[in-house]
Structure 1
């Protein structure tokens, strides 16, 4: 028979109590962990008549806290919030043209998946004009201003230009010119790479707003500065459009067509084929509404202006364009213009070290301008009537090819080669007649003017950039080679026949025939070298050499 002594009973009791307390504590911890397990909240955004809404902004906010989760409804109106804490929450839904929906839900004791069934938006006055960009959506870091874009900032089928108009510090005029912080944006990139040669208007008007995740305005000092970190010269404004991750893979685009009075029409195609790093964009357009898809810059030149002025001083082009039309009619919006344009943008990664991107754009404009003018000048004892009729038919064609290839040899060496080719061709056929009448409608002068002109302007240029980073931090060497060739060749055949009626009777005839030929060529080459030697963490010494 075993007899427990008092001290052993006491020890056994302590062990039992200890195990009991540990078991209770473990159970409490287990229940607490189960209670705090994240849940999933799902729902569908609908209108009051049961139609689903795609692209609605849905925000989940925890009660008494500033923390929130944001998403947008899918094509079928559905949305999902994962890893939601078990607590009281508020869900707010907004969509252009509908009243804001706000409701609270208590998920303090909820587990698993929770479905929201009562979201139904009613028509209201929540329009795009009432949307303002919150300060939290704007980030400023050194030389970059970044804007977060969400569905409350645009309507369905809006382009990027419409979003830019809503952003603080950015202005867009009727021609598509973008100004940021008071300075014109001269270049645009998509995901950090040039899009259609950096053509701002093409990117902002052809890319849909629902593709965009973020828009950045960058003070760009050039590729060399980006590598060395040394800012040299005056910065230009560059727009970088960051696409949503789900828009970097797939096929998407749109087709537009329209017709109006006076036989006006337009048609457009935009197609994007994206597969992560490989991206192809195709844009096509035809219209007679004076709308341009691509911006080829100022096609007129100082020589064109000089020749136009010279021609006018000699009476050439009275009532018409004359030789100036051979140079400066690109982008002319007078008369009836039939515009045709097609462009393709390409981007790909050729292995882990080589990336290539470029574009080709072509545009043709056929302009027909008919002018009929009658002007009467009345003096004290006489009057003069001037009647002029002119017909000008011009065809202008632009080609532009841009290409970039980047080779990251290793972490210390980088090469970028950028060739550019452009070609402009213009032809114009102008005919006009004029008649001057004096007192009693007596003829004083009449005649005709005709001009047939043509011009072409091929341009070639290339840039080669080499950057080397030494092992010592901040020590770099950069070489920049540039070369180019540009030509402007034009021919203008001009004829002016006039008859002057003499006061005493009789006439005097005059004739002027001119053939103007212009051939201009310009070649250039330059080299620049830069070496930076760091002196300490905040100071460095830069050596530059340039030759042209």
Structure 2
């Protein structure tokens, strides 16, 4: 009885203690326009023991401290360019809601604000914040030009990376802009309107609501605009025409043109932006998803990065606050692209022969020339609607819809050689008309209980996609085959004249519920249950042309298949989180059951069901050495199922020498993902340092099994037969042993005072091990690699802007079986860009890029220099207009060369691209309302120059700050600057 009474008393005391935990909430706003101060630093000091807790204001300016005990506290709110707010608070039996807390901008003396030297970077918890005024660009620069001057931010393969990771989302003033398209933001926002840049790992919607960080994050950039650009209308419009060398002819004339523009209007919380463009110079302001097409067997067309593209596009973004409780952001894209791509492929195989047909000392090669013309039409809609039902209930609705239509016509000529002797060739024509619809819909309900830290959220998701295509193939192939026992070669010819139709429909229905329960002031427990159901159907029928009927009505069962796959997962998990001033730690585990059910209906009925049981651990650690230095570690275990295209065992023969098929015996992959990151900055010295390590380990890795025919071969697949000529290739997915990737990344940024510039040094070392199956032999491809890059960007004046950079990459490809493929590959990319305002309204721009490639056996050393230049003159009052003459590829050396290293072969791919052209251009800047004129930007930046011998002087009222004002997109790819090109 004593034990029972003791336990009851302890339970009652702990329950009473929990019941007494309190909270402090509030919202940080700009005193002048009541806009939220996103990322404002909020510090809470417990007076008796001086224990500190700090948070950053969310995109709405809200902040909260939960799990507090009764007592005396001191609250402090600070934000760059604003006067601090300090409040003494006392908690007794009730939580405190402070409401709106307005911060005054700057400290003004007789209309003039005196500020200290602007720090280039500040580390605020998990957020690295860069002051835009510390990085000077010319007036025509866009957001991407600005952020790539900042430490830790680079561009790799056309994608912006921050702290070694691809940037997946770009926000403007904490709000969505043009959906999930980073390119649409970075290429359409002029640098002149940016106040600061924030780089952070954005938590999931549920994590941000509950305060329980589950480690699922996206690398995100938030662009904070200047206050003066948040009311009024502005825009930029560009028109250009010219011409130059026609690709591949060396002499004939080709017309080149560019028309683009943007218009923005902002009033309070409402912001509307319209961007559009039409050109045939490969310029693209929107994401590549709008151009990729809908076919899995695209043969070179439809991509903005290859060949010559003609693009017509328009985008619309709308954001507003409906009443006090509803925020809405919506966007629409239309994109129509026509592309012509001409490619030459040189491939070297290292296949072990098993007979005298292909001795080991003979080399097998494959050459291919292809010409593809495609037309891709895309509509994309995005919406985000957040509604607060009351103080404790809210809903979030995020739907999206994409419609695509693609027409593709291509011709392919392929040649196979063994030991330098021709053994086979093929000529084929392929026509495809395809369309697809994809939709995703998320509905999240969130409820906060009266007890601080106790929350529940319900997440519902419905995703849908459908794809249809009609395809026509005509192919003629000829190969030499040795007649057994005679040693003589005989010629084998084969003609394919086929029509195929593909119809795929897929769903994915997800639901989950999460519940958090506070255990103490520092400890929080979360329980979650998730289930997902994904049914997918795929019906492909192929018909041979009938000479008797003159129609495609002869069903080819070997190339036809009707298949259905269902994937059901259920997971139940629990996680524990502890958060103090110095560290935050989370550990958890989810038990998962997954059922994969495959049903084949044609040509043969079959069933294959599998059930998988897994434990999926996860962990997260964040340790703060100081406000400017922290260490973060994340680990996740996860599974993924094979796609319907990987499972369906039907042959795709769009290229008769490069066949692919699926594999219904595939099982799920299990992957471990780990990241370790350390970040530090010294604002007083304007230095920043980031270092990270990333690792993935995958079991049952889905890779390729590649069979290269050593002679004319007949292959039985799923009840049918396929003819594969000598040198032909059949690829199918298989599960193989462990695959892993390791990579480290480091970057260091510092100012170079003696030349008023910034230095950014970055480097990485990586290692990957990928299994593959080549002619039934398991081969492991190991690829150590290294990268070192240096960038020096000017910080002298907006009148003189230059960037000099060089980046070298080395890869060592090593194979356990195909040692003939071992190679060392090195590429160096160096560039220099200068933009100089040499006189009143007169500007000169030039950029040089040197590309150097060495090491692939199929290609000798390749190098070329791409030189672009322009000269312009500002006109009209306030320099609103500009006439410019632009020249692309002055040295006539532009080319496109790509080297691919796989476990089955090495190849070099050469692609046609833009050749030399000249263009006359006119740019007009629109400014209405309170918007500064174009010339004001130079004067403001000169006034804010970081001269160590004096303070920075600005007019009062221009201090920084963040609010809901919208993104003012500028010209695509830097309107008024050099057009994009390959």
| TM-score, with structure 1 as normaliser | 0.64
1:208-287 equivalences in 2 (<5 Å) = 208-258=190-240, 259-262=242-245, 263-287=255-279
The 8 Å contact of residues 296 and 398 in structure 1, kept in 2 or not, is answered as: no
1:515 maps to 499
3-state DSSP of counterpart to 1:196:
coil
Q: Is the 8 A contact 2:291 2:376 kept in 1?
A: no
Matching of residue 537 in structure 1 with residue 521 in structure 2: yes
Q: Structure 2 matches for 1:59-74, cutoff 5 A?
A: none
Instruction: Measure how far apart 1:261 and its partner are.
Output: 2.3
The superposition leaves residues 77-124 of structure 1 with CA deviations (integer Å, 9 ceiling, x where unpaired) of xxx9952499xx9999xxxxxxxxxxxxxxxxxxxxxxxxxxxxxxxx
> Which SS does the other structure have where 2:187 is aligned?
helix
Alignment correspondent of 1:467:
446
1:161 pairs, out of 123, 133, 144, with: 144
1:162-184 deviation digits (Å, cap 9, x = unpaired):
11022122223462x22222222
Aligned to 2:298, what secondary structure does the other structure show? helix
1:290 and 2:282 are equivalent in the alignment: yes
How big is each residue's C-alpha offset from its partner over 1:249-296, in whole Å with a ceiling of 9 and x where there is no partner?
A: 111111123345232332211111111211111111122222222114
Partner of 1:197: 179
- Distance (whole Å) between structure 2 residues aligned to residue 387 and residue 231 of structure 1: 52
Q: Deviations over 1:128-177 (max 9, x none)?
A: xxxxxx773423222222222227522112111111022122223462x2
SS of 1:290's equivalent in the other structure is: coil
For residues 31-110 of structure 1, the aligned pairs below 5 Å read 82-84=108-110
Superposed displacement of residue 369, structure 1: 3.3
1:297 aligned counterpart, secondary structure: helix
Match of 2:385 in 1: 405
2:658 matched residue in structure 1: none
Residues 470 and 81 (structure 1 numbering): CA distance in 2 closer, same or farther, change over 3 Å? closer
Say if 1:520 and 1:398 are closer, same or farther in 2 by CA, change over 3 A. Answer: same
Whole-Å Cα distance in 2 between the matches of residues 482 and 194 of structure 1? Answer: 19
Partner of 1:170: 153
Question: Separation in 1 of the partners of 2:186 and 2:406?
Answer: 28
2:465 and 2:227 map into 1 onto residues whose CA distance is: 41
Alignment of 1:405-484 (within 5 A): 405-431=385-411, 448-484=427-463
Return the alpha-carbon distance in structure 2 between the equivalents of residues 91 and 238 of structure 1: 29
Structure 2 CA distance for partners of 1:497 and 1:243, relative to 1, 3 Å: same
- State how far apart, in whole Å, the 1-side matches of 2:527 and 2:81 are: 51
Mean Cα displacement is larger for which, 443-452 or 252-261? 443-452
SS of the aligned residue for 1:477 comes to strand
Is 1:140 aligned to 2:123, yes or no? yes
Map of 1:524 onto structure 2 = 508
Q: Which residue of 2 aligns with 1:358?
A: 330
Q: Is the 8 A contact 2:303 2:339 kept in 1?
A: no
Deviates more, 1:243-252 or 1:137-146: 137-146
> Is this contact kept in 2: 1:329–1:396, CA < 8 A?
no
Aligned to 1:23: none
- SS state at 1:369 partner: strand
SS at match of 1:154: coil
Counterpart in the other structure of 2:339: 367
Structure 1: distance between partners of 2:324 and 2:381: 25
Q: Which runs of 5+ in 2 are unaligned?
A: 1-79, 83-105, 246-254, 348-365, 483-487, 533-982
CA distance in 1, matches of 2:180, 2:395: 20
Report SS of the residue matched to 2:520.
coil
Whole-Å separation in 1 of the counterparts to 2:380 and 2:114: 53
Give the 3 Å change call, closer, same or farther, for CA 545–391 of structure 1 in structure 2: closer
Q: Indicate conservation of the 8 Å contact 2:210/2:455, yes or no.
A: yes
State the match for 1:491 in structure 2: 470
CA distance in 1: counterparts of 2:81 and 2:480, whole angstroms: 86
Alpha-carbon shift at residue 198 of structure 1 (Å): 2.8
Q: CA deviation at 1:333?
A: 3.1
* Change over 3 Å in CA distance of 1:169–1:448 after alignment to 2: closer
- State whether residues 370 and 392 of structure 1, in contact with CA within 8 Å, keep that contact through their aligned partners in structure 2: yes
CA deviation after TM superposition for structure 1 residue 453, in Å? 0.8
Quick one: distance in 1 between partners of 2:122 and 2:137? 20
**Change over 3 Å in CA distance of 1:148–1:451 after alignment to 2:** same
Q: Distance in 2 between matches of 1:434 and 1:423?
A: 34
CA distance in 1, matches of 2:520, 2:491: 88
In structure 2, relative to structure 1, the CA distance for the partners of 1:237 and 1:420 (3 Å cut) is: same
Q: Which runs of 5+ in 1 are unaligned?
A: 1-67, 71-79, 93-133, 306-322, 376-385, 438-442
Q: Please state whether the residue corresponding to 2:277 is helix, strand or coil.
A: strand
Q: Give 1 or 2: higher strand fraction.
A: 2
2:316 aligned with 1:344: yes
Residue 419 of structure 1, CA deviation: 0.6
Partner Cα distance (1:186, 1:398) in 2? 21
DSSP 3-state at the match of 1:542: strand
Count of paired positions? 396
Tell whether the 8 Å contact from 1:341 to 1:364 is kept in structure 2 after alignment: yes
Q: Which moves more between the two structures, 530-539 or 388-397?
A: 388-397
What is the root-mean-square deviation of aligned Cα atoms in Å? 3.9
> Which segment is superposed worse, 134-143 or 418-427?
134-143
How far off is 1:220 after superposition?
0.8
2:412–2:429 contact (8 Å) kept in structure 1: yes
Q: CA deviation at 1:509?
A: 6.1
Query: How much does 1:345 deviate?
Result: 0.6
Secondary structure of the 1:167 match is coil
1:370-392 deviation per Cα after TM superposition (whole angstroms, max 9, x unaligned): 569999xxxxxxxxxx9987543
SS in structure 1 opposite 2:201?
A: strand
CA distance in 2, matches of 1:217, 1:348: 24
- For the structure 1 residues 523 and 277, does the alpha-carbon distance in structure 2 shift closer, same or farther, using more than 3 Å as the test? same
Q: Which has the larger radius of gyration?
A: 1
CA distance in 2, matches of 1:447, 1:478: 59
Which residue pairs with 2:746 in the alignment? none
d(CA) in 2 for partners of 1:296, 1:366? 14
- What is the CA–CA distance in structure 2 between the aligned matches of 1:446 and 1:149, rounded to whole Å? 58
1:324 aligned partner: 298
Aligned-partner Cα distance in 1 for 2:151–2:423: 62
How far did residue 188 of structure 1 move?
0.8
In 2, the alpha carbon distance for the partners of 1:183 and 1:435 equals 40
Question: 1:179/1:371 Cα in 2 relative to 1: closer, same or farther (>3 Å)?
Answer: closer
Listed one character per residue, the Cα deviations across residues 382-427 of structure 1 (whole Å, up to 9, x for unaligned) are xxxx998754321112221100111012221111101110122211
CA shift at 1:335, angstroms? 2.8
- Aligned equivalents of 2:334, 2:498: Cα separation in 1: 33
